[in-house]
Amino acid sequence: MGIKVEMNRDTAVALVSGEIDHHSASEIREKIDNFVRTNNLKELILDFSKVSFMDTSGIGLILGRFKLARSLGVNFKVINIPEKMRRIINLSGIKNLGIFE
């Protein structure tokens, strides 16, 4: 599991890699939230292109960051969800939030 956050003007891109479960989600969450709270952002993008597995902890991670971003007036997007994770995303209903690209 890895998490790398990069800033490009006022957009932060968080590249998550490896497996997202209850164990790894807390570290990913802390890193992203610290970054979001200490930088002046207009947009937060979660890039899932390097995620190899996620269970519903990944859904919780996305939902939690969505809520945080919204409370701070930051735009929020999730990009590059791998094909094999589409099923869990669809099942969760978070597709309707309009945050996926």
Tell me how far, at minimum, the Cβ of 63 lies from another protein, in Å: 6
Using CB under 8 A, which of 13, 17, 31, 63 touches another protein? Answer: 63
Size of the site for another protein (CB under 8 A): 22
Separation CA 57–CA 19 (nearest Å): 10
* 79 vs 82 by CB, closer to another protein: 82
Q: Give, in order, the Cα–Cα distances in Å from 43 to each of 2, 83, 90, 91.
A: 21, 25, 24, 26
What are the helix and strand counts (H, E) for the chain?
Answer: 3, 4
Q: Is 21 in the site for another protein (CB under 8 A)?
A: yes
Q: Is 80 in the site for another protein (CB under 8 A)?
A: no
Q: Is 12 in the site for another protein (CB under 8 A)?
A: no
Separation CA 83–CA 66 (nearest Å): 21
Q: Is 72 in the site for another protein (CB under 8 A)?
A: no
Separation CA 9–CA 30 (nearest Å): 22
Query: Which residues make up the interface to another protein (CB under 8 A)?
Result: 19, 21-23, 25-26, 29, 53, 55-57, 59-61, 63-64, 67, 84, 87-88, 91-92
